[in-house]
Amino acid sequence: MHCKIQKVNLEEQHIRYLSDLATNETAVIIKIKGYGAFRKRIREMGFVRGTAIKVIKKAPLQDPIEYELMGHRVSLRTSEAQLIEIATPEDFQRADTQTHIDISCREDVKQQKKNFSKTIQVALVGNPNCGKTSIFNQITGKHERVGNYSGVTVGAKTANFNLQDYTIELTDLPGTYSISEYSPEELFVREHLSEKLPDVVINVVDASNLERNLFLTTQLIDMNIRVIIALNMYDELLKKGDRLDYHYLSKLIGIPIVPTVATNAKGIGTLLDKVIDVFEETETTRHIHISYGNDINSSIQRIKAAVKKHDTINDSLHSQFVAIKLLEDDKTFKEHIRSFDNSQEIITIAQEEVQRLEREHNTKTETLITDAKYAFIRGALKETYTSSSIQKEPKGYKADALLTHRWLGIPLFVLFMWAMFHLTFSLGSYPMTWIENGVDALRMLTQNSMQEGMLCDLLVDGIIGGVGGVIVFLPNILILFFCISLMEDTGYMARAAFIMDKIMHSIGLHGKSFIPMLMGFGCNVPAIMATRTLDSKKDRLLTILIIPFMSCSARLPVYILFISAFFVQYQSLILLSLYLFGILLAALMAIIFKKLFFKKADVPFVMELPPYRMPTLRNIGSHTWNKSVQYLTKMGTVILVASILLWALGYFPREEVNELASKQVEEVENLHIDKLYSSFDTSQFKNSEANQLENSYLGRLGHFVEPAIAPLGFDWKIGISVITGMFAKELVVSSMGVLYRSPDDESEISSHNLTEKLHQQRYETGVKKGEKIFTPLLAYSFMLFILLYFPCVAVFAAIRHEVGLRWAIFSAFYTTALAWIVAYIVYNVGSIFL
């Protein structure tokens, strides 16, 4: 018999929980969340997948709730019912969310019901640089950022895909060495596992560094969650000549182990099959308790006994995990336990046990537990792991003899930076010219195929003039991102932090802060997010406050425009000087902020230096491609809308220019024919559009801010560019493309003829009337102003999200004030000598 199968839209399905049911409503149980005692007790009472359940009534105070299943009545609290996922009987009859089965195909319905649960929530957890994101990309086909340094993933990335009869919701969590309270990403991972309650956790373990990686595994064992180990980079373990009996290790720790090589997708299929087996409980697993020694074990048992009396805590967290975290004196976790009602007894017992253990062993309980975990790991590896008898020098570190050399390390780093900027100009100039020619051809085609009027002006001057003036810098930006990606994927990014730690320490920062600062050269937003990998809140905040001084790619079009116009012979050096000035000023402000706001003890420099790895063309290519897509998307959204708005503000109101034109026509008609050419000043016609722009809404705005920027040598047109640059720094160039174009131009304002326009600009009023506005000195002070002033709206939002609105506002004000002061000093002091 053939079954008629019809696809069902997954997005139309909505996950519901038992607590959502109304009185007399019936549903079918499809998934049980929660841990330990709760799962065991609830399953024994018949709460299993495929069981029909009906709401009988709620208690007078609406909690607990009485249910009927399997012919008997059970009451549950709302908090417990929220851990049971359900489906309507109608949805359940469809067997799963992927297919609708014809009712005539009844012999298949029973088997389909067994596999009904529509979603398996899977979390990827592991140490930094263990290959989590590579596995995520291989499984999902995504192109999330990967890199050979810690902290690449700074937030959860989730993707859904279909596997057999299931929808897998796979989440890539930030890399973490532990799930303690030391850094934001550790707390983020712990909260995800405790609150989101994933059905299966894939613990990605670096096979070349088992002892350290398995420490996180022991903490997952304490949580009593369903875990699978992806033994990643297994090929590197074999190449070293080492051997691991992972089958026996799996039996010892009670967790299935699957060897994988994420770079070529080896073992990924087996890993996914294991996820299904563990979820369906066809895989034989067992929960073990790590022995911490008699003293600690007795303390754990006493705390567990108190936890088991507290149903709400016991149903949310495994009692073993609660006891261990309280014994570690984890302050964040202790506050979480205090949030439960009547939990003081548990806290009191835990504090008594901590004091007893520390008094008897003269050591912090956290250290005692950590030592016991590593003793367990070493004991398990002693029985399963055999190291090669030939001791080989670790591969991938030979380049450090040169790149981190005492005397050559910093000069080489500066040389690499200079080379990056040189490539940005020299190599990027060729495709930049091609794009310019294409933009100009598009402009001419549009102008010649349309009648003169407002729509034509909008397309030619607003859209093509605005967006086209910025898109030409795409090649330069891609080259910059390619170079940064190369540093990340090879592992040199971590070396840069290593090299710069002493300098960073002298200004009150951690060496790891240099990684987000370097990332800021690409974009300040992900750089600010990357500060989550810093252990100290002081370091995080201090780093966030100075990251806006890192010249992001959005500022690059401004630099290229002005450097190409005024510093032809020293392009690379001038660009490098801007980047170095930002770094030096960031260091100075870090010192000042440390003395003003942050006088706490320094955090030790502890950071992994991964082995150098050959970057893959796929990773670098996907990163560069993604950045190009982001840049083009920005062109099609923010820059496009802003360019149209700029054009409209400069185009309206039209009454004044029309009135001027009427007066000129009247004057022509009143003149005698023989006096026409001698008496009539035709320049008025040419100046009419200039007058229109100056008297437009945009011109009025520029004149409004002109008094504040006049001491810097800026006129009202520069003021408009500065204002628009607050939304996105690329808009500075886009604004100039609109502001400096006049109707008698024969070609579009590309970067080439825009430089000519900059040279032609002159002051219209004041003591400098008639003098050139843009000189090399003013151009350099203007670039410094663009480097330092108000971070763009996206960066402002990122700062607000990470450290709060108060610090975001502070950042906006202090950077703008600093930009004004620096530009004033450079321009006015420079004018004395130049």
Summarised one tens digit per residue, pLDDT across range 71-116 is 667 777 777 787 788 888 877 766 444 433 333 333 343 344 344 4
Output the six-digit token pair for 701: 């705005």
Extract the runs of DSSP E, i.e. beta strands, from 361-461: 385-386
Output the six-digit token pair for 460: 């030619």
How far apart are the C-alpha atoms of 340 and 345, rounded to whole Å?
11
* Alpha-carbon dihedral 621, 627, 630, 636, rounded to 10 degrees: -90
Helices (H), 309-362: 311-316, 319-327, 331-338, 344-361
- In the sheet that 26-32 helps form, which strands lie side by side, from edge to edge? 16-17, 84-87, 26-32, 52-58, 65-69, 72-76
Cis amide prior to 431 (ω within 30 degrees) = no
The pLDDT of residue 272: 93
Q: Are 314 and 38 in contact (CB under 8 A)?
A: yes
How far apart are the C-alpha atoms of 696 and 702, rounded to whole Å?
10
* Alpha-carbon dihedral 803, 804, 810, 811, rounded to 10 degrees: 50
Q: pLDDT averaged over the chain?
A: 79
The pLDDT of residue 673: 45
Q: Please, what's the b/e burial string for 133-148 (b: 16 or more CB within 10 A of its CB; e: otherwise)?
A: bbbbbbbbebbbbbbb
The pLDDT of residue 141: 79
Mean pLDDT comparison of 483-492, 541-550, 596-605, 790-799, highest-scoring range: 541-550
The alpha carbon of 48 is separated from its chain's Cα centroid by a whole number of angstroms, namely 39
Phi, psi of 400 (to 5 degrees): -65, -25
CA-nearest of 692, 741, 684, 693 to 716 is 693
pLDDT tens digit string along 296-322? 999 999 999 998 888 778 777 888 889
pLDDT tens digit string along 323-350? 999 998 888 888 888 888 888 899 999 9
pLDDT band for position 11 (50/70/90)?
A: very low
How far apart are the C-alpha atoms of 21 and 207, rounded to whole Å?
47
**DSSP letter for each residue of 694-711:** HHSHHHHHHHHHHHHHGG
The pLDDT of residue 663: 57
- Could you give the count of Cα atoms lying within 13 Å of 188 in the half-sphere of its Cβ? 22
Phi, psi of 184 (to 5 degrees): -60, -35
Which residue in this structure is represented by tokens 């610090």? 807
Strand pairing of 200-206 and 65-69?
unpaired
The pLDDT of residue 285: 67
Share of the chain above pLDDT 90, in %: 20
Share of the chain above pLDDT 70, in %: 80
Across 49-53, 185-189, 299-303, 672-676, least confident range: 672-676
Which residue in this structure is represented by tokens 């754990």? 300
How far apart are the C-alpha atoms of 556 and 522, rounded to whole Å?
10
pLDDT tens digit string along 784-812? 999 999 988 888 888 888 888 999 999 99
Across 24-33, 109-118, 739-748, least confident range: 109-118
3-state helix, strand, coil in the chain (%, to 5): 60, 10, 30
**Helix, strand, or coil here: 88?**
coil
The pLDDT of residue 816: 96
- Could you give the count of Cα atoms lying within 13 Å of 678 in the half-sphere of its Cβ? 4
The count of residues in the chain is: 834
Sequence-distant (≥ 6) Cβ neighbours of residue 71 within 8 angstroms: none
Extract the runs of DSSP E, i.e. beta strands, from 41-134: 52-58, 65-69, 72-76, 84-87, 99-101, 119-126
Contacts 24+ apart (CB under 8 A), 424-429: 424/476, 424/479, 424/480, 424/483, 424/556, 424/560, 424/575, 425/476, 425/560, 425/563, 425/571, 425/572, 425/575, 427/475, 427/479, 428/475, 428/476, 428/479
Is residue 655 predicted with pLDDT exceeding 90? no
CA-nearest of 254, 252, 247, 220 to 231 is 247
pLDDT tens digit string along 505-525? 777 776 777 778 877 887 787
Which residue in this structure is represented by tokens 């309507």? 88
Q: Which helix (H) or strand (E) holds 27?
A: strand 26-32
pLDDT band for position 820 (50/70/90)?
A: very high
How far apart are the C-alpha atoms of 25 and 41, rounded to whole Å?
24
pLDDT tens digit string along 156-171? 788 888 888 888 999 9
**Helix, strand, or coil here: 602?**
coil
Is residue 679 predicted with pLDDT exceeding 60? no
Sequence-distant (≥ 6) Cβ neighbours of residue 661 within 8 angstroms: 685, 688
The pLDDT of residue 384: 94
CA-nearest of 2, 164, 17 to 98 is 164
CA-nearest of 170, 168, 183 to 127 is 183
Is residue 356 predicted with pLDDT exceeding 50? yes
